[in-house]
Amino acid sequence: MLSDTDRSVGTAYDVLRDADDPYADYPKRIAYLIDPDGRVAAADEVTDPGGYGAEALATLAAAKR
């Protein structure tokens, strides 16, 4: 988890909300899966934090194929 108070990381990863979004002041929840070489293998917007674990496992399983 990361606290991005100056929005520099959100800017770098291009995940800031649009200015007209009703939640523009709040960050998106993005989960990044990083491969062993340090590259982003997948990026998912997390809309249901309680259910994301199963989604992450499915993404990892698909990436291994």
Whether residue 3 is contained in a domain is answered as no
Whether residue 22 is contained in a domain is answered as yes
Q: What percent of the chain has pLDDT over 70?
A: 97
Whether residue 28 is contained in a domain is answered as yes
Whether residue 27 is contained in a domain is answered as yes
**CA 55 to CA 45: how far, in whole Å?**
11
Task: For the full predicted model, state whether its pTM sits above 0.85.
Answer: no
Structure tokens of 17?
Answer: 């909300």
* Structural domains in the chain (count): 1
Whether residue 20 is contained in a domain is answered as yes
Is the model more confident about 14 or about 8? 8
- Band of the pLDDT at 21, cuts 50, 70, 90? very high
- Enclosing domain of residue 56: 8-63
pLDDT at residue 20, rounded to an integer:
94
pLDDT at residue 27, rounded to an integer:
76
Whether residue 50 is contained in a domain is answered as yes
Whether residue 1 is contained in a domain is answered as no
SS3 content of the chain, % helix, strand, coil (to 5): 30, 15, 50
